[in-house]
């Protein structure tokens, strides 16, 4: 177990806090290669739980998993001009195998469009072959300048959906549907509220027609792009000659989409819910939903207490609860409390001689609503029904807490530029403003305030108070959500 006492408080240095949580909660550690991390079992388990949930949702919406190769010929990337321009600066290129120089260098995929579309061109011939609804779980490499564990690593794990459709409307429907799947996952599983909407041209995926995104607000009031869904139009179909024959016998390019979320979501989870005591995990994604800490003074008590702990464990397992019994000897209960709190376990059950005698266990929640009891004794006989209810309640509470944080740090209509600037300087958060639609204006605000347009919000997320003028004073084309971002 890692030593150390208190973490750096979030208010003192948020990124130091973040790095310490990653280390001390045993989520990840560094590797010898720049920007590459080792995902440790506890962190990987969170990712596995995310994968399991998302994978089910993808399958429920008709997608199938496949796997495409890690390498693509360098020439393939060049096929779509914008795509190439977008990714060329950050690709890793293999030029040698052993001592021999390769005839054509290979690119390690930064994303798989350029690998998948040449293949799909062979698979798709007729309107009867459409839609193609694929997903793959894979690793990709992007040689970013500045890396941070989970948030931006040189190699990262993700899923990438790739679909082909007969019509523009079908592709758009798919793009929006998958954005909705992401939103549902983020809110229901990660307990992380998001704003969804359209990206501006400057933040659009290289080669896409339109990029939609889920934007979440972290505890330090910076925004994190948590997932993206792209309507690729016919751009990739044209670049890779993916055509199908219509019912009428015409040859048409397919309409395609791609969408992805990555291990960045683990970073999002840390920053959306964590506090000065460490990680706070939503029960649905917690490797251990419950940790049982037995307490004893002598061998006899140890036997009694452990027997009770195993009994409780049986009950909870049968009730579908993921639990861990911390029966390590020679470590005081208090030390175990600190450790599991730092690692974000939603619910702790303490079982001591007094509890066994009384037929109860002491439950302690990792996070509770203000004014609510953190420690509550529970009758052992009721655990099978009460604990699952508590876990659902904790899940809901964490979501509400994150929602409240976002509401507290959102301004719904800013017209005055000085006011906007002050908001971004004094803590920041989401600011709804108008936007004239000009890229120059967007860039100027970015240079000046470090804040960017996160999204042009979807209808549901629009502000009734959004101004009809841009920050530059010109007429507003649409309302936008601005924030400083990761």
Does 331 bind RNA (CB under 7 A)? Our answer is: yes
- Identify which of 21, 271, 18, 261 has the alpha carbon closest to the alpha carbon of residue 148: 18
Helices (H), 343-376: 353-358
- Binding segment toward RNA, per CB under 7 A, in 70-78, 326-334, 421-429, 430-438: 326-334
Indicate which single residue of 61, 105, 137, 148 sits in contact with RNA (rule: CB under 7 A).
148
Q: Which residues between 233 and 272 bind RNA (CB under 7 A)?
A: 260, 262-264
Residue 347 touches RNA, criterion: CB under 7 A:
no
Q: Residue 92: which H helix or E strand, with range?
A: strand 92-97
Give the one residue of 153, 221, 229, 256 binding RNA; rule: CB under 7 A.
Answer: 153
Among 59, 125, 128, 354, binds RNA (CB under 7 A): 354
* Pairing outcome for strands 290-294 and 323-325: parallel
When binding is defined by CB under 7 A, the residue of 144, 188, 393, 396 that contacts RNA is 144
What are the phi and psi torsion angles at 23 (to 5°)?
-75, -50
Closer residue to RNA (CB): 172 or 326: 326
Please select the residue that binds RNA; options are 8, 36, 378, 388, rule is CB under 7 A.
36
> Cβ closer to RNA: 228 or 315?
228
Determine which helix (DSSP H) or strand (DSSP E) holds 402, and give its type and residue range: helix 383-408
Distances in whole angstroms, Cα of residue 400 to Cα of each of 12, 190, 368, 405? 25, 12, 11, 8
Q: For residue 281, give the 3-state DSSP assignment.
A: coil
Q: Whose Cβ is closer to RNA: residue 126's or residue 422's?
A: 422
Write down the least CB distance from residue 346 to RNA, Å: 13
In whole angstroms, how far apart are CA 349 and each of 295, 335, 356, 391, 396?
11, 14, 12, 12, 20
Q: Alpha-carbon dihedral of residues 68, 71, 75, 77, nearest 10 degrees?
A: 60
Minimum Å gap between C-beta 104 and RNA is 23
Q: Which stretch binds RNA (CB under 7 A): 100-108, 352-360, 398-406, 416-424?
A: 352-360
> What does the H/E/C string look like for 7-45?
CCCCCCCHHHHHHHHHHHCCCEEECCCCCCEEECHHHHH
CB 364 within 8 A of CB 343: no
Encoding tokens for residue 71? 């390498």
Q: Does 350 bind RNA (CB under 7 A)?
A: yes
Write the DSSP symbol of residue 443.
H
Residues in 467-486 that interact with RNA by CB under 7 A: 485-486
Nearer CB in complex with RNA: 33/100: 33
Q: Does 154 bind RNA (CB under 7 A)?
A: yes
Instruction: Name the DSSP letter for residue 283.
Output: G
Q: Is 91 in the site for RNA (CB under 7 A)?
A: no
Q: Among 9, 11, 12, 15, which residue interacts with RNA (rule: CB under 7 A)?
A: 15
Query: Please, which residues bridge with residue 244 across strands?
Result: 252
**Among residues 182 and 253, whose Cβ is nearest to RNA?**
182
**Minimum Å distance from CB 221 to RNA?**
14
Residue 482 β-bridge partners: 431, 453
379 belongs to the binding site for RNA (CB under 7 A):
no
174 binds RNA (CB under 7 A): no
Q: Choose the stretch contacting RNA; rule: CB under 7 A; options: 346-354, 408-416, 434-442, 454-462.
A: 346-354
Q: How far is the CB of 183 from RNA (least distance, A)?
A: 15
| Min separation Cβ 243 and RNA, Å | 28
Per CB under 7 A, the segment of 100-108, 128-136, 164-172, 334-342 that binds RNA is 334-342
Peptide bond into 378 cis (omega under 30): no
Q: Which stretch binds RNA (CB under 7 A): 121-129, 149-157, 378-386, 474-482?
A: 149-157
Q: How far is the C-alpha of 68 from the C-alpha of 160, rounded, in Å?
A: 11
Answer for which of 112, 135, 200, 225 binds RNA (CB under 7 A) is: 225
Residue 440 contacts RNA per CB under 7 A: no
Min CB(186)–RNA separation in Å: 13
CA distance linking residue 182 with residue 312, whole number of Å: 35
Nearer Cβ to RNA (347/466): 347
Output phi, psi for 65, to 5 deg. Answer: -85, 145
**Intra-chain end-to-end CA distance of the chain, in Å:** 30
H-assigned helices in 112-234: 113-123, 168-184
Angle, in degrees to the nearest 10, between helices 264-273 and 14-24: 110
Q: Please give the size of the binding site for RNA, defined by CB under 7 A.
A: 70
Q: At what angle do helices 439-449 and 417-425 cross, to 10 degrees?
A: 40
Interface with RNA by CB under 7 A: which residues? 1-6, 15-16, 19, 23, 30, 32-36, 86, 89-90, 142, 144-149, 151-154, 156, 203, 205, 225-226, 228, 260, 262-264, 295-298, 302, 329-335, 337-339, 341-342, 350-355, 362, 364, 375, 447, 450, 485-486
């Amino acid at each position: 177990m890692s030593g150390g006492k208190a973490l750096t408080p979030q208010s003192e240095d948020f990124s130091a806090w973040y790095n310490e949580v990653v280390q001390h909660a045993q989520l990840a550690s560094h590797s010898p290669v720049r920007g590459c991390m080792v995902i440790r079992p506890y962190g990987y388990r969170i990712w596995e739980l995310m994968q399991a949930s998302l994978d089910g949702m993808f399958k429920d919406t008709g997608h199938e998993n496949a796997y495409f190769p890690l390498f693509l010929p360098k020439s393939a990337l060049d096929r779509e001009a914008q795509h190439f321009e977008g990714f060329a600066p950050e690709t890793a290129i293999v030029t040698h195998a052993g001592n021999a120089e390769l005839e054509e260098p290979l690119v390690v995929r930064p994303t798989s469009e350029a690998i998948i579309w040449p293949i799909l061109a062979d698979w798709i011939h007729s309107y009867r072959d459409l839609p193609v609804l694929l997903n793959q779980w894979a690793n990709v490499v992007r040689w970013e300048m500045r890396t941070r564990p989970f948030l931006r690593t040189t190699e990262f794990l993700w899923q990438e959906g790739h679909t082909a459709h007969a019509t523009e409307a079908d592709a758009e429907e798919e793009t929006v549907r998958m954005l909705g799947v992401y939103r549902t996952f983020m809110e229901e599983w990660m307990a992380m509220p998001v704003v969804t909407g359209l990206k501006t041209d400057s933040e659009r995926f290289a080669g896409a027609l339109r990029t939609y995104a889920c934007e979440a607000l972290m505890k330090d009031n910076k925004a994190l792009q948590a997932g993206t869904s792209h309507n690729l139009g016919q751009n990739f179909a044209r670049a890779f000659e993916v055509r199908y024959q219509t019912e009428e016998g015409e040859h048409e390019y397919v309409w395609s989409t791609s969408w992805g979320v990555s291990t960045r979501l683990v970073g999002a989870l840390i920053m959306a819910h964590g506090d000065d005591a460490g990680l706070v995990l939503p029960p649905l994604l917690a490797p251990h939903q419950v940790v049982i800490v037995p307490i004893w003074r002598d061998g006899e008590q140890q036997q009694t207490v452990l027997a009770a702990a195993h009994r409780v464990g049986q009950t909870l397992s049968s009730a579908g609860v993921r639990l861990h019994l911390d029966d390590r000897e020679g470590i005081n209960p208090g030390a175990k409390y600190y450790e599991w709190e730092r690692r974000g376990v939603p619910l702790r059950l303490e079982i001591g001689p007094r509890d066994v005698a009384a037929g109860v266990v002491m439950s302690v929640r990792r996070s509770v609503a203000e004014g609510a009891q953190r420690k509550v004794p529970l009758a052992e006989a009721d655990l099978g029904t009460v604990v699952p209810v508590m876990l659902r309640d904790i899940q809901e509470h964490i979501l509400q807490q994150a929602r409240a944080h976002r509401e507290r740090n959102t301004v719904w209509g800013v017209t005055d530029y000085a006011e906007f600037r002050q908001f971004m300087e004094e803590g920041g958060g989401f600011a709804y403003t108008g936007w004239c639609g000009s890229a120059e204006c967007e860039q100027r605000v970015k240079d000046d305030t470090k804040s960017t347009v996160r999204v042009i919000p979807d209808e549901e997320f629009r502000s009734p108070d959004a101004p009809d003028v841009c920050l530059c004073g010109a007429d507003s084309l649409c309302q936008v959500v601005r924030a400083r971002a990761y």
